Amino acid sequence: MATAALDEKKLRGIVKAALIDAFKENRDLMQDIVEEALEDIAVARAIEQGLETKIVSRKKVFSRICIGIFLDEMA
């Protein structure tokens, strides 16, 4: 049993060291991965919220978008 625990500790240390090296050497890649994951979470939450709200017509949505664009151009 002690050997299994020791091997698990060694494995954890090796995995931890490998992850730290990966973060250091591939910082941009790791940042992209984290950003993608956060975006996926945000989209999933938005979908969940959308399913719980009342339905709005397409015309109403696009009219709000057009008003926003118009107001941006006025600024």
pLDDT in tens, 42-52: 999 999 998 99
Segments forming the whole domain that contains residue 9: 2-74
Torsion of CA 66, 68, 72, 73, to 10 degrees: 20
pTM of this structure: 0.48
The confidence score (pLDDT) of residue 5 equals 67
Give the CA-trace dihedral at 38, 40, 43, 44, to 10 degrees.
Answer: -110
- Which pLDDT value is given to residue 52? 93
Question: Alpha-carbon distance 70 to 16, whole Å?
Answer: 52
How far is it, in rounded angstroms, from Cα 3 to Cα 72? 66
In total, how many domains does the chain have?
1
